[in-house]
């Protein structure tokens, strides 16, 4: 098993043989690295390294941000582009709740692998806010089914959804290197 090293300055973990003169994450000298013993099984480490949940989070954030940006843009465009952009907003709004469900399920899987349970304080807060985010995306889905609805309503709902997605992302980043030891 290869020796892992951890940066005392920022917590970045990497294989000793890949360590150069500087920490690739924060740039401090390699002297700040100390040996690090992984306290999780190879299987758990592999599953966490897949980053399924963080990757899916990017999809939901991109969908939500695109819906917001395009709905605002559509409010100022002339009719030639308005119909095209509105159609894209509607398609993304119809797809978004399904992407959020996939992301939520991936988050549940990640939480179980990382913490072995779902009831840690931050996971409970993330699940609660994730539920609110899902309800907002269901609102966008409903808006897409009512094409005569003013775009300003879609913009407001997508702004609220984007706020939820952003907060969830911030909380998620704080968990990236967290995990219970063991198998």
- 19 lies in the same domain as 50: no
Residue 58: per-residue pLDDT: 93
Q: Is the residue at 54 inside a domain?
A: yes
Looking up tokens 């899916």, which residue turns up? Answer: 56
pLDDT exceeds 90 at position 48:
no
**Residues 97 and 155 occupy one common structural domain:** yes
Three-point CA angle 21, 26, 31, nearest 5°: 40
Query: In whole angstroms, what separates CA 164 from the centre of its chain?
Result: 11
Do 99 and 123 fall within a single domain?
yes
Average pLDDT value for residue range 76-96: 89
Q: How many domains does the chain have?
A: 2
pLDDT higher than 80, residue 89: yes
Return the pLDDT at 138: 98
Does residue 139 sit within a domain? yes
pLDDT at site 121: 87
Instruction: Note whether 69 and 128 are same-domain residues.
Output: yes
CA distances from 71 to 47, 79, 162 (A): 37, 14, 13
Distance CA 146, CA 9 (A): 53
Do 52 and 121 belong to one domain? yes
| 160 vs 15, more confident | 160
> Could you tell me the end-to-end alpha-carbon distance of the chain, in angstroms, rounded to an integer?
16
What are the pLDDT digits (tens) for 98-131?
Answer: 999 999 999 999 888 888 888 888 889 999 999 9
Domain region containing 120: 44-175
Do 125 and 151 belong together in one domain? yes
Rg (CA), the chain: 21
């Amino acid at each position: 098993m290869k020796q892992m090293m951890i940066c005392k300055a920022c917590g970045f973990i990497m294989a000793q043989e890949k360590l150069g003169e500087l920490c690739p994450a924060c740039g401090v000298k390699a002297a700040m690295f100390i040996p690090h013993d992984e306290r999780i099984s190879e299987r758990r480490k592999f599953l966490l390294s897949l980053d399924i949940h963080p990757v899916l989070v990017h999809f939901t954030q991109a969908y939500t941000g695109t819906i917001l940006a395009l709905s605002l843009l559509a409010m100022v465009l002339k009719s030639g582009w308005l119909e095209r952009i509105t159609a894209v907003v509607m398609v993304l709004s119809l797809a978004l709740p399904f992407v959020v469900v996939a992301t939520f399920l991936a988050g549940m899987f990640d939480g179980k692998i990382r913490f072995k349970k779902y009831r840690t304080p931050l996971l409970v807060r993330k699940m609660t806010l994730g539920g609110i985010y899902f309800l907002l995306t269901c609102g966008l889905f409903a808006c897409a089914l009512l094409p005569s609805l003013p775009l300003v309503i879609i913009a407001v709902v997508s702004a609220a959804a984007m706020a939820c997605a952003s907060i969830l992302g911030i909380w998620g980043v704080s968990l990236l290197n967290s995990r219970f030891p063991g198998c």
